[in-house]
């Protein structure tokens, strides 16, 4: 399965069924025996080729993406929504969306600029003011087509452009899912516990269950991370750069990376000539936090693909960084 297919599947946090179905089919076709746990995570265990006792390494990526969820309906047929995962309302205005499993097209509009006061122009619209318009003429019609609890995704197809870049939605973290699918094809010395986890974007819930039930010796989280390398951001304030390779984290708001793993990843990158960079910011949080604190504690490391405009309908990555994520993770797994 390619990155285009993976990112174009709509599956916001809590509604991972579509991506889960697609991944299950793919894994079964390749001869694996995936299981689903109580959090809805997909787990594949692939035994290593090394001598026993082998390290049991959890490599996780989250299946879910940020999206919206229907909370109500106006009398004239608009959908009221809130976020399922963190979306800044400023990226929603004038965007197209797909509503529900039937992918009903919808748009998010706003009051025309002509009709806005100076204060309106400066003000950020909150979710109370955001309406999704599917063309319904009445509350009843809107309720029928998109009842409360219906999930909504960005309608932005995957496009490759420029010098090796790709633009789309859900790179965070289908790019990690893609890397895991590729790692499963590899012969590795350690036992690989591949986990496609749920609900990262609403608080790293899936991974917490997977780490508990799988009891790994080490956890490696494959992520998409924030990247602000263009525009007027001074170099020292840049988190990482698109095109400079996989980003290795020393610390974020959820975990402090295991120092030994951190140094090992950097050393392997240097030695094998795999493009890599240190994620030079303490920002965000991800499944590393809950994996590290599962049970009696698990050394963890987060390896991320830089994503410009993350959590927006048009996220941008450089494809070579995804390649580096795959290569560095593979090399690290071979060296554990």
Partner 1 sequence: MDIKKILADATATLGVSGHEAEVAAYFAEQFRPLVDEVKVDAMYNVIARRKGNGPKIMLCAHLDEIALMVTKIEDDGCVRFGSVGGVDPRILPGSRVWVHGAKGKLFGTIGALPPHLMSAEDRTNNYKMDKLHVDLGMCAETVRSQVRIGDLITFNTPFTELANGQVAAKSLDDRACVAILLRAAERLQKLVCDADVYFVCSSQEEVGGRGAMTAAFGVEPDCAVVLDVDFALTPGCGPDVACPLDAMVVTHGPFIQPKLNKRLIDCAKAHNVKLTQTVAGRSTGTDADEIGVSRAGVPVVLLSLPEKYMHTSVETISLDTLEEGARLLAHFVSELDAGWEEDLWI
Partner 2 sequence: MFELLKKVLAPIGPSGLEGPVAEVIREEIKDVVDTIEVDALGNLIATKLGKAENPRKVMLSAHMDHIGYIVTGVEKEGFLRVTNVGGIGMNNSYNRHVVFAGGVNGVVVAQPVAGQPALKDLFVDIGAADREDALKMVSLGDVCVYAGECFRLGEHRVAAPAMDDRCACALLVKLLQTVGDTQDTIIAVFSVQEEVGCRGAKVASFAKEPDVGIALDVTGWGDTPGVTQPEIKLGEGIGVKVMDRASISNPELREALMAAGEKAGVKTQREVLPYGGTDAGAMQTSRAGIPVCTLSVPCRYVHSACEVIDMRDMDAGLKLLQTYFA
Q: Smallest distance from the beta carbon of 65 to partner 1, in angstroms? A: 12
* Beta bridge pairs of residue 207: none
144 binds partner 1 (CB under 8 A): no
Instruction: Please identify, using beta-carbon distances, which residue of 209 and 313 lies nearer to partner 2.
Output: 209
280 binds partner 1 (CB under 8 A): no
Binding segment for partner 1 (CB under 8 A), chosen from 92-100, 134-142, 146-154, 220-228, is 146-154
Instruction: Please identify, using beta-carbon distances, which residue of 39 and 294 lies nearer to partner 2.
Output: 294
β-pairing, 67-73 vs 151-154, is antiparallel
Instruction: Please identify, using beta-carbon distances, which residue of 210 and 248 lies nearer to partner 1.
Output: 210
Strands (DSSP E) along 275-322, which ranges? 276-279, 300-308, 315-318
Token pair listed for 20: 């889960």
Token pair listed for 190: 């350690």
Q: Which of 173, 8, 143, 169 is nearest to 77 (CA)?
A: 143
Q: Which does 13 bind (CB under 5 to 8 A by kind): partner 2, partner 1, none?
A: partner 1
40 binds partner 1 (CB under 8 A): yes
Q: Smallest distance from the beta carbon of 6 to partner 1, in angstroms? A: 18
100 binds partner 1 (CB under 8 A): no
Instruction: Please identify, using beta-carbon distances, which residue of 43 and 322 lies nearer to partner 1.
Output: 43
Helices (H) then strands (E): counts for the chain = 9, 17
* Beta bridge pairs of residue 227: 308
125 binds partner 1 (CB under 8 A): no
13 binds partner 1 (CB under 8 A): yes
Instruction: Please identify, using beta-carbon distances, which residue of 131 and 225 lies nearer to partner 2.
Output: 225
Residue from 89, 213, 238, 280 binding partner 1 (CB under 8 A): 213
* Beta bridge pairs of residue 219: 58, 300
- Count CA atoms closer than 13 A to 321's CA, side-chain side: 30
Residues within the interface to partner 2 (CB under 8 A): 235-238, 250-251, 255-256, 259, 262, 278, 280-282, 292-299
Instruction: Please identify, using beta-carbon distances, which residue of 112 and 236 lies nearer to partner 2.
Output: 236
User: Does the annotation count 26 as an active-site position?
Assistant: no
**Cα dihedral value 200, 202, 203, 206, nearest 10:** -40
Phi, psi angle pair for 28, to nearest 5° = -65, -40
**Percent helix, strand, coil in the chain (nearest 5)?**
30, 30, 40
Q: Which one of the listed residues 16, 65, 199, 200 is annotated catalytic?
A: 200
20 binds partner 1 (CB under 8 A): yes
Q: Which of 214, 216, 199 is nearest to 286 (CA)?
A: 199
Contacts of 180-183 spanning 24+ positions with Cβ under 8 A = 180/59, 180/60, 180/61, 180/222, 181/1, 181/23, 181/26, 181/27, 182/326, 183/59, 183/326, 183/329, 183/330, 183/333
Q: What is the three-class DSSP state of 60? A: strand
Instruction: Please identify, using beta-carbon distances, which residue of 298 and 333 lies nearer to partner 2.
Output: 298
Q: Which does 128 bind (CB under 5 to 8 A by kind): partner 1, partner 2, none?
A: partner 1
56 binds partner 1 (CB under 8 A): no
The H or E element containing residue 105 is strand 104-108
Q: Which does 209 bind (CB under 5 to 8 A by kind): partner 1, partner 2, none?
A: partner 1
Residue positions counted in the chain: 336
Q: Smallest distance from the beta carbon of 16 to partner 1, in angstroms? A: 8
71 binds partner 1 (CB under 8 A): yes
Residue from 7, 10, 83, 304 binding partner 1 (CB under 8 A): 83
Q: What is the three-class DSSP state of 43? A: strand
Catalytic residues: 200
Per CB under 8 A, residues contacting partner 1 are 12-17, 20-21, 24, 36-41, 64, 69-72, 80, 82-85, 128, 147-149, 199, 202-203, 205-206, 208-210, 212-213
């Amino acid at each position: 399965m390619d990155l285009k297919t993976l990112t174009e599947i709509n599956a916001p946090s809590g509604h991972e069924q579509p991506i889960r179905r697609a991944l299950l089919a793919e894994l079964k076709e390749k001869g694996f025996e995936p299981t689903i746990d109580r959090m809805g995570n997909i787990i594949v265990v692939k035994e290593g080729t090394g001598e026993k006792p082998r390290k049991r390494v959890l490599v996780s990526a989250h299946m879910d993406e940020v999206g919206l969820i229907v909370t109500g309906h106006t009398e004239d047929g608009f959908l009221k929504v809130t976020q399922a995962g963190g979306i800044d309302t400023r990226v929603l205005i004038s965007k197209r969306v797909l509503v529900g499993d039937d992918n009903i097209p919808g748009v998010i509009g706003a009051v025309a600029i002509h009709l806005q006061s100076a204060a309106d122009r400066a003000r950020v619209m909150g979710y109370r003011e955001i309406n999704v318009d599917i063309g319904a003429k009445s509350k009843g019609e809107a309720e029928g087509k998109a009842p409360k609890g219906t999930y909504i995704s960005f309608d932005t197809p995957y496009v490759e452009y420029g010098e090796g870049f790709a633009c789309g939605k859900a790179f965070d973290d289908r790019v990690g899912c893609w890397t895991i699918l590729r790692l499963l094809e590899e012969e590795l010395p350690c036992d690989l516990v591949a986990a496609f986890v749920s609900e990262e974007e609403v608080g790293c819930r899936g991974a917490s269950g997977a780490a508990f039930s799988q009891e790994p010796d080490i956890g490696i989280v494959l992520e998409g991370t924030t990247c602000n390398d263009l525009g007027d951001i001074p170099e020292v304030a840049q988190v990482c750069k698109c095109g400079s390779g996989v980003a290795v984290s020393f610390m974020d708001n959820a975990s402090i990376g295991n120092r030994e793993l951190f140094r090992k990843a950097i050393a392997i990158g240097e030695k094998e000539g795999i493009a890599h960079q240190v994620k030079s910011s303490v920002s965000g949080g991800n499944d590393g936090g809950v994996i590290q604190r599962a049970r009696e504690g698990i050394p963890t490391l987060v390896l991320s693909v830089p994503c410009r405009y993350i959590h927006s309908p048009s996220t941008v990555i450089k494809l070579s960084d995804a390649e580096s994520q795959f290569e560095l993770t593979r090399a690290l797994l071979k060296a554990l």
